[in-house]
Amino acid sequence: TKTISKCYVQVTGMTCASCVANIERNLRREDGIHSILVALMAGKAEVRYNPAVIHPSAIAELIRELGFGATVMENCGEGDGILELVVRGMTCASCVHKIESTLMKTNGVLYCSVALATNKAHIKYDPEAVGPRDVIQVIKDLGFTTSLVKKDRSASHLDHKQEIRQWKRSFVVSFVFCIPVMGLMIYMMVMNNHPSDAHPHHNVSSEGREAPHSSMLLDYQLLPGLSVMNFLSFLLCVPVQVFGGWHFYIQAYRALKHSTANMDVLVVLATSIAFLYSFIILLVAMAERAKVNPVTFFDTPPMLFVFISLGRWLEHVAKGKTSEALARLISLQATEATIVTLGPDNVLLSEEQVDVELVQRGDIVKVVPGGKFPVDGRVIEGHSMVDESLITGEAMPVTKKPGNTVIAGSINQNGSLLISATHVGADTTLSQIVKLVEEAQTSKAPIQQFADKLSGYFVPFIVAVSVVTLLAWIIIGFVDFEIVEKYFLGYSESISPAEVIIRFAFQASITVLCIACPCSLGLA
């Protein structure tokens, strides 16, 4: 017998089924090529050839001459079939050995490992020589019952509903409490800009300078040092910090546990520090019975959480859309196939229903009117119209007669067909589309990888900058108090200069932290 080798060629530039037919037709004519099978979606050609006559590089060259890009794929393991089975009835290690040794002797089985504890068998085989049904038969002949490990066809891993719900809740909570905080803030700003309208009596501070004016009601002190404004802001801020920021805290904790810093860490840092600083300042002001209300940052956390949880929510909605399309695609796959045995002159001898995973290359599959094609294949017998709109988007049914190719998942309309399976399992067009979309979702654009890498450095950098800001203002303050005095709102003699400096330094550094939070990098 002449030896036949197999190689895989990556083919680029194919746009439709006619490209596939073109390559297959032209290459079959060449000397030394035994058979060729081209998968359009995978962009892969499987060629069986006689190494004495032709080399893989020459095969790739032939495809290039037809106007396509072609490169020989080195790792030929791609074509190996993988089978996961549940084996029942094993009692001891000798059963395991019996199954493994028998399977390894079977022609076409490349690797086999059986685990007694989990009752599972993992088998690699060459689809050219042997198929899943043969393997199962071998194990059954040894006296064990076996079945396929059921694949999760529902594609539940693509479901983003829970995340969408979680971020939506987070956004709504933050938004509900953010509106009044924003309202208060804007009201204060407007009033501070028109002091004369608000109240003609200028209140004069102990030094005789005019203190900044604001609406009397919000500045009214419930307790010494605690104004209505600050009290309301505090009340509105707490639920946001707890409920709105819950997921951020969890994510940040996980990141820090693995000693990395992501955007969540920054968000949590900024909001927590702003919240705690404001809370402590309020307590200090109440303890000192301060006349002037301290500057607090209670408005910051709700606003930040609103922006960022909105961003996350939209992101998951977008992901969910793609995933939904994928899940629908997956649900189009047939679950069972009718395999027939043909006698001479294509006479039907027997037929059996099997799981679609058990269909082997070269099997003859019968598809009745209204049935789905379980695998990609070629028509051997019968005439029919086929609805291929799921793949091609073409609304008109396509005529199929012997020799035509059919696509898994498309629907047979009016005639019964016998097809010979060419691509099964993960090689069918539909599986390839699903795989491509999944890969597209998991792979990152180079710019995105770069952004992720940057944000790894971004968080520590921002934290460092805000610490530097804090220290710098403390130093400036102790060297030249005038500068701080000029910029510090609500300065009065009743507060010691040291406290003024530290408060001002904290305000500056918190501002740096908070501004960096909804950075375009993180949101994008």
pLDDT tens profile 74-91: 765 556 778 888 998 888
Residue 227 neighbours by CB under 8 Å, 6+ apart: 218, 219, 220, 221, 293
Judge whether 275 and 214 are in contact, CB under 8 Å.
Answer: no
User: 263 vs 179, which has greater pLDDT?
Assistant: 179
- CATH class for the domain made up of 82-148: alpha beta
Q: What is the pLDDT of residues 27-59, one digit of tens each?
A: 988 889 988 888 877 788 889 899 889 988 999
The Cα–Cα gap between 221 and 228 comes to 6
Residue 198 has pLDDT above 70, yes or no: no
What CATH architecture is 5-73? Answer: 2-Layer Sandwich (3.30)
Which long-range contacts (C-beta less than 8 Å, at least 24 apart) are formed by 26-29? 26/62, 26/66, 27/59, 27/62, 27/63
pLDDT > 70: what percent of the chain?
87
Question: Quick one: pLDDT at residue 365?
Answer: 94
What CATH architecture is 335-428? Answer: Distorted Sandwich (2.70)
Question: Quick one: pLDDT at residue 263?
Answer: 74
With H, G, I as helix, E, B as strand and everything else as coil, classify residue 28.
Answer: helix
Select the highest-mean-pLDDT range: 14-23, 111-120, 279-288, 398-407.
398-407
380: tokens are 């051997």
Question: Quick one: pLDDT at residue 215?
Answer: 57
Residue 434 has pLDDT above 60, yes or no: yes
Residue 160 neighbours by CB under 8 Å, 6+ apart: 316, 317, 319, 320, 323
Residue 400, strand partner residues: 384
Question: Quick one: pLDDT at residue 77?
Answer: 53
Residue 335 has pLDDT above 80, yes or no: yes
In the chain, CATH 3.30.70.100 covers 5-73, 82-148
Average pLDDT taken over every residue of the chain: 82
User: 285 vs 215, which has greater pLDDT?
Assistant: 285
Residue 166 neighbours by CB under 8 Å, 6+ apart: 247
Q: What is the mean pLDDT of residues 229-255?
A: 85
User: 290 vs 509, which has greater pLDDT?
Assistant: 509
In the chain, CATH 2.70.150.10 covers 335-428
The band of 211, judged by pLDDT with boundaries at 50, 70 and 90, is: very low
Select the highest-mean-pLDDT range: 9-23, 203-217, 380-394, 425-439.
380-394
The enclosing H or E element of 429 equals: helix 429-442
